Structure 1
Amino acid sequence: MIRMISAYFILTLFFTGLSEFSVPVVTYSSLKVEVSNLRNDKGDVIFLLYKKGASFPDKELRNSFKKETGVIKKDSAIAFFSNIPPGVYAVTVVHDENDDQSFNKGFLLPKEGIGFSNYQSIGLTNRPQFSRASFRISKDTCIHIKMIYMK
């Protein structure tokens, strides 16, 4: 009987002590990205979500944390990213007019529309950089990105 009480006491201490060392719960968020004023309804819109430290922008559209494709409806498209851990992120959007799943550019300028979080325009002196395009996600978030057409 004494052994049973001792075993019960030890088990109670063991499980009670573990609760003090519990692992913190990570809250995942979602991100809604909207673009509007697309110049036509050809193709799709590719939405790329990049984590801090990723190669950004990514000409091959391969190094993103998450990728979604949005269908164009009335000159707009929307993408939803879910299960995003808290952190710093940036978004690139490509209007893939010819549906080849790549970013097409001419000699220097993009042939298709492109957009970046926190950018209203781009140019030789205003090249996209992660530090400027980035924003923190710690709760459900919605952003709007301006599409930029060079020609």
Structure 2
Amino acid sequence: MIKKTAILLIALVLLSFNKSTPEETYSLTVKSEGFRNSKGEALFALYNKDGSIPDEKYEKYFKKGVSQIDKNGTATFTFTNLPEGNYAVNVLHDENKNGKIDKKFLLPIPNEGVGFSNYESIGMSNRPKFSKASFKVNSNLEKVIKLIYM
């Protein structure tokens, strides 16, 4: 009986050393500024892979969230449980709540406000891409993104 107890105790001690610790996760709070009105909603999309943006129909995102726009022309959303890694954020002023970037008649220009992390302006020669928009998340973080209307 003592031998079985000792073996069980040794096995428990060995198992406790082999336990893997859970992966640490972080939160990312995104505040977006410059909404021209409070119609519709603010759509926040988080990306974690090269080539995932632009994403006009919101099909390649890692996580997505929606927030109301306040009377000061700002909206905030917090992504939680993010493992350490590189991320990029896109914010859309989805005025008609259809979940996609609407374009001006026959032109590749957004009709609604859009914003990307690390971008102050966008255009034909400054199109959004993950490599430029991405940033490292290895702690709880806050980012501010300016909405751009064309």
Instruction: Output the TM-score relative to the length of structure 2.
Output: 0.91
User: What's the CA shift for 1:33?
Assistant: 0.5
RMSD after superposition = 1.3
| Alpha-carbon distance between aligned partners in 2 of 1:56 and 1:20, rounded to the nearest angstrom | 42
Equivalent residue number for residue 68 of structure 1: 65
Deviation readout 1:1-34 (Å, 9 max, x if unpaired) = xxx1111111111111122211122112111110
Equivalent residue number for residue 98 of structure 1: 96
Equivalent residue number for residue 115 of structure 2: 115
Q: 1:36 aligns with which of 28, 33, 36?
A: 33
Give the number of aligned pairs: 147
Indicate yes or no: 2:127 matched with 1:124. Answer: no
- Contact kept? 1:49, 1:92, Cα under 8 Å: yes
| Runs of 5+ consecutive residues of structure 1 not aligned to the other structure | none
User: What's the CA shift for 1:83?
Assistant: 1.5
Equivalent residue number for residue 26 of structure 1: 23
User: What's the CA shift for 1:56?
Assistant: 1.4
Structure 1 stretches of at least 4 aligned residues deviating more than 6 Å after TM superposition: none
The secondary structure found in structure 2 opposite 1:81 is strand
Equivalent residue number for residue 45 of structure 1: 42
Cα separation, partners in 2 of 1:24 and 1:51, compared to 1, 3 Å: same
User: What's the CA shift for 1:99?
Assistant: 2.0
Please identify, of 66-75 and 49-58, the stretch whose mean Cα deviation from structure 2 is larger.
49-58
Matched letter for residue 67 of structure 1:
K
Between Structure 1 and Structure 2, whose CA radius of gyration is higher? 1
The secondary structure found in structure 2 opposite 1:109 is coil
